[in-house]
Structure 1
C-alpha cells in the first residue's frame, strides 16, 4: 500500500502507505473461540502504495491477461496438481464498522484483497511494476500519445451481463466525481473523460489532456476497478467480474465470497474465501497457529524468525515490498544545501539499518525508489558509509557541529529503531540528531509539511508514479519539497517519448540526479511477510504487495 500519506496502521508503510481487517461473522465451527476479544477492533492498518499512474513498456501491448494457474507469474509456495474445493480463511487487519465493499474506496490491504476477489481492473501491476492486461485485452496509442484505443476481452459480470465500454466509462467517471474522494481519482486526472467515448461494445477511445506514454499504468491504478454501468451501491449485493461472487458481509467482522465458475481467466480452485478481521499481529499469528485461519497477512520479522522452518506454519516473504528511508526537506535549512544532503547519504550505514530496524528482513537501498522495478537504474554504484567525506562536505557547507531534529513515530514497524540507529551513526560524523516522537494518528499528514528530516516509507508503485506524485513541482505528496522546473521538463519529455529505450534513458537521467542530490535517503527495502497453513498451496512468492499476484486467492488451493 502507497506512501503513507493518508492515515494508516501502525505497521507499514504503505504503505502510501504505507489496514483494516474483518472478523468472521461465521459460526463457531468456522472460527472456534471467535469472540471479539480475541480479535479486537482495528488498531493497525496495512499499507498501499499511493495512487497514481504507472509505467509501461510498449505502446502496444496485447496479452492473455495474467498469471499461469497455480502460482501467478513468479514462484509459488506449494507444488503439485491444484485441488478443487474448501474454504480458505484469511486474516487481515481491518477497518471497523465503517468498512465497505465499494472497490473505489479501497485504501487498505484488506480492502484491496476483497476488491480484487470481486472485481477486475483493465490492467494491473506485474512483479516489476509494469502494466499487465486484465479486462483490457490490448491497448494502442496514436503517434502523439494523447489518444489511446483500449479493446476489452470477452468477460461477464456475476449476473451474466457482458463487460462493455459503457461500464468502463461509467466506472472512471464515477471515480472522477469531484464530490467524492475515491482513491484512483488523481490517477485518472490525465484523461479527458468528457471527450473519451465508446467506439464499440468492447472498445473505448481515451482522449488525454497531454501526451502520456505510461497510460497503461493509469489503467492499473490502485482502486481503478470496473463496475457495472450505473452501479453505486456495493455492500448488500455487489456485482463484479472477478473470480469470486458475493455471499455475505458484516463490516468489521467478516466477508464471505464463493467461486465464480464462469470467470474469464478460469474458475478459482477454492469453493469459498472468507476474509476475517484480526487487527493485532499476535491475534493473526495465534489464529493461524491454532488452525482458525489458513492465511495471515502482515507478520513482523520476529514472528517470521520464530516460526520459519519449524514445521507448524509456512512463512512467505514478498521481497522488496516496502521502501524504507529518511525524507530531507530540500526547501529549508539545513537541507536546502545539497552538500548537507550528500553528507547525510554518506553518514548512513545501510546494512546496519536493515539489520537493526528490519531485523535483517530486507535488502539495502541505494537512495533511489523501486529497486528491481521497471526503469530502475541498476548501474549506479552502491553507496557506502564514508564518514570522512561526510564531515568534509558538512565543513564546506558551513554545517559543522550540525544539530537537526529527526521526526519518527511508532506508526510503522522499524521507524523508531531506524531513528535511533541513524542518530548514533550521525554522531560519528559530528552531527547531533534529536529524535522526536510523533503521533501515530497524525504522522503521515504532518510529515508532508512539517519538520526538516523524518522517517518515511512507501509500498510498491511504478517508478514513474513515484516521480509524478512525489517529485514534481505540482505533486500533491511532495514530502521532500523537490521542486525543479528542469526536472519537471524531463518528466514531460519522458511522457512524450514513444520509444521505450529512449524513454528509459530519460528516466535514468532523472534518477541519476536524485541519486546525486535528491531528498530521499533510501536505506532499505523491507520484506512483506505472510504466514500460511501447511495445507495452503499456490501462494505467489515473488510478487510485491499491491501487485497483480499478491492476494491472488483464485490461484490458491488447499491440499
Structure 2
C-alpha cells in the first residue's frame, strides 16, 4: 500500500489509492497472455536494447484520473496524480526498482542510538525549479504542512514530534520521536509519493519542486505538460518534454497506442495484451501488492484461531494463481512485506490440506461452517479470488456466501468492520505495514488482531537500531502472523504496461508502479 492517508478519511484514501493509483493492482496479474510476451521482465531489467536518444516529446496515455486531478505534492489520489508527482517532485528517500529504500534528496537519514530522534541532512547544492536552494526550512515546512493538514504522508510521521522538530543548520533537521522509532526511513519511503519536498512559499496552482520535469500547463481530467529540468540534481531527462493525457479506459489507450498518438499506456488487462504486443512492447513487473482475504479476529467464528488456520488450509494457492493470474503472480504465505530484506523465507510454505482443515473445524465445533465474504471491484483479482476461494472451501464443507458491494460501499462506513472481506494493498515493508494494520493504534486494523507478545515484539523492533536484532524480532512477529493472524495472502500480483516500438529504457519494478516507478526521465523516444 502506499500508505494510508488520514485515518479519519480512510474510506476516500483507501478507495482512491487502491482502485486507481499507479500500484499495478488495477491491472495486477492480468496476464492471461503474458506467457507469450517477449518483453516481459523482472525488476531492474530493461526491455530496450537501443542506445539512448536525446530530445523529443514523451507522450503518456494513462487512466484513472478525472476532474479531481491535482498537482499538489501532498495530495495525489489517483494513477495520473502519482505519475505527475513523480515528474515534479522528489522525496527525501524513495524506493528503487527492487522496492528497497534509496536516498533521493537526503544525503543522510540517521537515528540516534536510542532511536528517540532522527537527523536528516540534504544533499548540498540542490535547487528548486525556480533556482531557489533547497534548505532545512523547506524540509520542515513540507513535513509540517503534511502533518498539520493530516495529509496522506502524515502516516509516516505519527511517531515524530513535529512541534519540537529543529533546524540544525541550512541543510540539516533533527526530528524528535514520541517513543523509540527506528524505522522512520522505512515509513518515509513507504509514503514517498506523498512527501515530495516543496519550498516554503509553495503554491500548488503553480507548483515548484525539485523533480526532473518542470510544470508548464495542467487541465484537470485532460492533460498536463512538463518540460525537462536541465538543472536536475540527478541524471537529467533524455526527452525535452513530457505530456500526460487522461484516457477513460484501456480501449481508448490502446487505440491511441496503435495510432501512435501516445508512447506509453499502463494498467492493462489480459484482453489487451495481444493488441499491445502488436502495437509495440509489453512490460510485465513482479509486484509486491496483494488482495488478501481478511478475517476479523475479534468476531466469531474467526475469533477461534482454529477456524482461521482451517480457512488458510483450504486454499490451493497454485490453483488460484493459475486460474486468476495465469501463474504470473508470486505465491503468498499469509505474511505481508514480500520484498522486505527481513521477510522470513524460512517459514514453511502453507499448502492446501483439506483433511487438516476439516479436523480443525471439527475441533472448533464448526464442521458445517457458513460464512459471508464481502468483496468489491477494488482491484483486478479481488472478485475472482472470492469466487475461487468459495469453490475451494466447499472441499472442507465450508459454505462461503459472496456479498458483492460497490467500491464506495466497501470503503464506506463499514470499512474496518467487515467480518470477512477481500482488501487490496500496495507493497509496504513488513514493520511499516504492521504499524498500519496489526499493532495498537494502527489506522487500518481491519483484522482486529491483538496479541500481547506480538505487540511487545513490535515495540522492541521499532525501538532498536541493531539491524540483526530487529530482523530476529520481525521474524518472530511474522511467525505469529503465519500461525495466528487474520490475513490469508494467497499471492502477490504482477503488473502490465505497454509502450510504442520507438520507446527505450523501459524498466520493470517490484513496487508495481508503472515504468520503473514513473521514472520518465530514463525513457527516450528513438
TM-score by length of 2: 0.91
Counterparts of residues 59-78 of structure 1 (less than 5 Å): 74-78=44-48
Distance, in Å, in 1 between the alignment partners of 2:506 and 2:407 is 32
Distance, in Å, in 1 between the alignment partners of 2:98 and 2:178 is 27
Aligned CA-pair RMSD: 2.3
Deviates more, 1:124-133 or 1:140-149: 124-133
Among 44, 47, 56, the alignment partner of 1:86 is 56
Q: Secondary structure at the match of 2:119?
A: strand
Distance, in Å, in 2 between the alignment partners of 1:416 and 1:47 is 18
Distance, in Å, in 1 between the alignment partners of 2:496 and 2:42 is 18
How big is the shift at 1:344?
0.6
1:202-260 CA-to-partner distances (Å, cap 9, x unmatched) read 111111212111122233223011000131x212x211111001110001100100100
Among 269, 283, 287, the alignment partner of 2:238 is 269
Among 127, 136, 154, the alignment partner of 2:106 is 136
Structure 2 counterpart of 1:248: 217
Deviates more, 1:220-229 or 1:429-438: 220-229
- The question of 1:123 aligning with 2:78 is answered no
How big is the shift at 1:72?
12
Q: Secondary structure at the match of 1:540?
A: coil
Structure 1 counterpart of 2:204: 234
In structure 2, do the counterparts of structure 1 residues 46 and 120 end up closer, same or farther at CA, with 3 Å as the change threshold? Answer: closer
Structure 2 counterpart of 1:353: 320
How big is the shift at 1:555?
0.8
TM-score by length of 1: 0.85
- The question of 1:17 aligning with 2:14 is answered no
Distance, in Å, in 2 between the alignment partners of 1:7 and 1:540 is 33
Among 373, 388, 394, the alignment partner of 2:340 is 373
In structure 2, do the counterparts of structure 1 residues 83 and 523 end up closer, same or farther at CA, with 3 Å as the change threshold? Answer: same
Distance, in Å, in 1 between the alignment partners of 2:3 and 2:389 is 21
- The question of 1:112 aligning with 2:113 is answered no
Q: Does the aligned pair in 2 maintain the 1:4–1:444 contact within 8 Å? A: no
1:328-371 CA-to-partner distances (Å, cap 9, x unmatched) read 11110110000000001110011121122234331211111122
- The question of 1:440 aligning with 2:407 is answered yes
Structure 2 counterpart of 1:281: 250
Structure 1 counterpart of 2:186: 217
Distance, in Å, in 2 between the alignment partners of 1:366 and 1:289 is 40
Q: Secondary structure at the match of 1:441?
A: helix
- The question of 1:327 aligning with 2:301 is answered no
Deviates more, 1:95-104 or 1:310-319: 310-319
Distance, in Å, in 2 between the alignment partners of 1:147 and 1:416 is 44
Q: Secondary structure at the match of 1:155?
A: coil
The structure that is strand-richer by fraction is 1
How big is the shift at 1:324?
2.3
- The question of 1:382 aligning with 2:349 is answered yes
How big is the shift at 1:286?
2.1
Gaps of 5+ in 2: 26-40
Q: Secondary structure at the match of 1:465?
A: helix
1:418-472 CA-to-partner distances (Å, cap 9, x unmatched) read 1111111111110111111111222133563333211122111221211000001
Structure 1 counterpart of 2:480: 513
How big is the shift at 1:496?
1.2
Gaps of 5+ in 1: 20-44, 50-70
Structure 2 counterpart of 1:315: 282
Distance, in Å, in 2 between the alignment partners of 1:92 and 1:517 is 41
Among 96, 100, 103, the alignment partner of 2:70 is 100
How big is the shift at 1:531?
0.9
Structure 2 counterpart of 1:175: 146
- The question of 1:290 aligning with 2:291 is answered no
Residues matched between the structures, number: 504
1:125-147 CA-to-partner distances (Å, cap 9, x unmatched) read 23444321110011222211112
